[in-house]
Protein backbone atom coordinates (compact mmCIF):
# COMPACT_ATOMS: atom_id res chain seq x y z
CA UNK A 1 0.00 0.00 0.00
CA UNK A 2 1.29 3.48 -0.86
CA UNK A 3 0.01 6.45 1.13
CA UNK A 4 0.36 10.15 0.47
CA UNK A 5 0.06 12.41 3.48
CA UNK A 6 1.06 15.86 4.66
CA UNK A 7 3.17 14.66 7.60
CA UNK A 8 4.77 11.38 6.61
CA UNK A 9 6.83 11.07 9.82
CA UNK A 10 3.72 11.34 12.00
CA UNK A 11 1.78 8.93 9.76
CA UNK A 12 4.57 6.32 9.78
CA UNK A 13 4.87 6.63 13.57
CA UNK A 14 1.13 5.98 13.87
CA UNK A 15 1.38 2.89 11.64
CA UNK A 16 4.30 1.57 13.69
CA UNK A 17 2.40 2.18 16.94
CA UNK A 18 -0.47 0.07 15.51
CA UNK A 19 1.93 -2.83 14.88
CA UNK A 20 2.46 -2.35 11.16
CA UNK A 21 5.77 -3.02 9.42
CA UNK A 22 6.72 -0.05 7.21
CA UNK A 23 9.27 0.33 4.41
CA UNK A 24 10.77 3.82 4.47
CA UNK A 25 12.55 5.29 1.47
CA UNK A 26 13.28 8.98 1.90
CA UNK A 27 15.97 11.38 0.84
CA UNK A 28 19.34 10.25 -0.32
CA UNK A 29 20.12 6.56 -0.31
CA UNK A 30 22.71 5.33 2.13
CA UNK A 31 25.71 3.30 1.04
CA UNK A 32 27.10 0.48 3.12
CA UNK A 33 26.18 -2.55 5.15
CA UNK A 34 23.57 -0.85 7.34
CA UNK A 35 20.27 0.86 6.70
CA UNK A 36 20.27 4.10 8.65
CA UNK A 37 16.67 5.18 8.24
CA UNK A 38 16.45 6.21 4.59
CA UNK A 39 16.16 2.74 3.02
CA UNK A 40 14.81 0.83 5.96
CA UNK A 41 12.17 -1.55 7.12
CA UNK A 42 10.80 -0.26 10.42
CA UNK A 43 8.68 -1.83 13.15
CA UNK A 44 7.80 -1.48 16.81
CA UNK A 45 10.74 -3.12 18.65
CA UNK A 46 8.54 -4.16 21.58
CA UNK A 47 6.61 -6.58 19.34
CA UNK A 48 8.72 -9.71 19.02
CA UNK A 49 6.34 -11.23 16.44
CA UNK A 50 7.53 -8.73 13.82
CA UNK A 51 10.83 -10.62 13.62
CA UNK A 52 9.05 -13.55 11.94
CA UNK A 53 7.03 -11.26 9.67
CA UNK A 54 10.13 -9.47 8.45
CA UNK A 55 12.21 -12.62 8.07
CA UNK A 56 9.58 -14.58 6.14
CA UNK A 57 7.81 -11.96 4.06
CA UNK A 58 10.31 -9.20 3.54
CA UNK A 59 13.87 -10.39 4.07
CA UNK A 60 13.16 -13.63 2.16
CA UNK A 61 14.80 -15.86 4.73
CA UNK A 62 13.61 -18.42 7.23
CA UNK A 63 16.64 -18.33 9.54
CA UNK A 64 17.15 -16.14 12.55
CA UNK A 65 19.45 -13.14 12.43
CA UNK A 66 19.31 -10.35 15.01
CA UNK A 67 17.84 -7.01 14.07
CA UNK A 68 18.88 -3.63 15.39
CA UNK A 69 17.23 -0.54 16.80
CA UNK A 70 17.39 3.10 15.91
CA UNK A 71 17.31 5.00 19.19
CA UNK A 72 16.87 8.70 19.85
CA UNK A 73 20.09 10.25 21.11
CA UNK A 74 18.26 11.70 24.08
CA UNK A 75 16.97 8.22 25.03
CA UNK A 76 20.20 6.27 24.45
CA UNK A 77 20.90 5.88 28.17
CA UNK A 78 17.42 4.42 28.67
CA UNK A 79 18.17 1.49 26.36
CA UNK A 80 21.95 1.18 26.05
CA UNK A 81 24.67 0.65 28.64
CA UNK A 82 27.46 2.83 27.28
CA UNK A 83 29.72 3.76 30.23
CA UNK A 84 32.40 5.27 27.98
CA UNK A 85 29.87 7.37 26.03
CA UNK A 86 31.04 5.96 22.70
CA UNK A 87 29.39 7.63 19.69
CA UNK A 88 27.35 4.91 17.94
CA UNK A 89 25.46 6.20 14.88
CA UNK A 90 26.08 3.29 12.47
CA UNK A 91 24.87 -0.03 14.00
CA UNK A 92 28.39 -1.44 14.13
CA UNK A 93 28.99 -1.51 17.90
CA UNK A 94 27.30 -3.83 20.38
CA UNK A 95 26.29 -2.86 23.91
CA UNK A 96 24.50 -4.44 26.82
CA UNK A 97 20.92 -3.24 26.87
CA UNK A 98 18.51 -1.85 29.39
CA UNK A 99 14.72 -1.90 29.36
CA UNK A 100 14.78 -4.92 27.10
CA UNK A 101 11.00 -5.36 27.02
CA UNK A 102 10.79 -2.16 24.96
CA UNK A 103 13.36 -3.27 22.37
CA UNK A 104 13.18 -7.07 22.46
CA UNK A 105 12.67 -7.45 18.68
CA UNK A 106 15.76 -5.29 18.10
CA UNK A 107 18.07 -7.03 20.55
CA UNK A 108 19.80 -10.38 20.68
CA UNK A 109 17.35 -12.94 22.11
CA UNK A 110 19.98 -14.81 24.14
CA UNK A 111 22.22 -12.20 25.71
CA UNK A 112 19.97 -9.12 25.23
CA UNK A 113 22.75 -7.10 23.63
CA UNK A 114 21.83 -4.37 21.18
CA UNK A 115 23.61 -2.99 18.09
CA UNK A 116 22.04 0.48 18.02
CA UNK A 117 21.92 3.36 15.65
CA UNK A 118 21.87 6.39 17.91
CA UNK A 119 19.94 8.97 15.90
CA UNK A 120 20.73 12.65 16.29
CA UNK A 121 18.75 15.54 14.84
CA UNK A 122 21.86 16.76 13.02
CA UNK A 123 22.50 13.44 11.20
CA UNK A 124 18.94 12.77 10.04
CA UNK A 125 16.35 15.30 11.25
CA UNK A 126 13.33 13.66 9.55
CA UNK A 127 14.14 10.19 10.89
CA UNK A 128 14.81 11.63 14.34
CA UNK A 129 11.40 13.32 14.22
CA UNK A 130 9.71 10.08 13.11
CA UNK A 131 11.11 8.24 16.13
CA UNK A 132 10.11 11.20 18.31
CA UNK A 133 6.53 10.95 17.00
CA UNK A 134 6.58 7.20 17.72
CA UNK A 135 7.73 7.99 21.27
CA UNK A 136 4.83 10.43 21.74
CA UNK A 137 2.42 7.61 20.86
CA UNK A 138 4.09 4.71 22.69
CA UNK A 139 6.55 6.08 25.22
CA UNK A 140 9.36 4.22 23.41
CA UNK A 141 12.19 6.28 21.88
CA UNK A 142 13.36 3.46 19.62
CA UNK A 143 12.23 1.62 16.49
CA UNK A 144 13.35 -1.66 14.96
CA UNK A 145 15.36 -0.89 11.82
CA UNK A 146 16.68 -3.30 9.22
CA UNK A 147 17.74 -2.93 5.62
CA UNK A 148 15.21 -3.31 2.86
CA UNK A 149 17.33 -5.64 0.76
CA UNK A 150 15.76 -9.05 0.19
CA UNK A 151 18.62 -11.42 0.98
CA UNK A 152 17.02 -14.21 -1.05
CA UNK A 153 18.06 -12.42 -4.23
CA UNK A 154 21.69 -11.90 -3.34
CA UNK A 155 24.24 -14.27 -4.80
Other CB atoms closer than 10 Å to residue 66's CB: what's the count? 17
Q: Is the pLDDT of residue 155 over 90?
A: no
pLDDT, tens digit, 9 for 90 and up, residues 29-53:
666 667 788 888 999 999 989 988 8
- Domain 8-153: give its CATH code: 3.90.870.20
DSSP state of 107: B
Other CB atoms closer than 10 Å to residue 153's CB: what's the count? 7
pLDDT, tens digit, 9 for 90 and up, residues 50-91:
988 888 777 666 566 678 999 999 999 999 999 999 999 999
Query: pTM of the prediction?
Result: 0.89
How far is 38 from 124, CA to CA, in rounded Å? 9
Task: Of 74, 7, 78, 18, give the one whose Cα is nearest residue 42.
Answer: 18
Please tell me the predicted confidence (pLDDT) of residue 153.
37
Mean pLDDT of 122-149: 93
Please tell me the predicted confidence (pLDDT) of residue 4.
78
126 CB-near residues (< 8 Å, 6+ apart): 9, 26, 27
* Domain residue extents for the chain: 8-153
pLDDT, tens digit, 9 for 90 and up, residues 102-115:
999 999 888 999 99
Amino acid sequence: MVLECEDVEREVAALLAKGEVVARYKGREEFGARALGNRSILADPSRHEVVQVINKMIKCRDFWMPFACSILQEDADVYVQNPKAVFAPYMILTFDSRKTEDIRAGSHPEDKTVRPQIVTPSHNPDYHRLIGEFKKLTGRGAVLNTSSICTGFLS
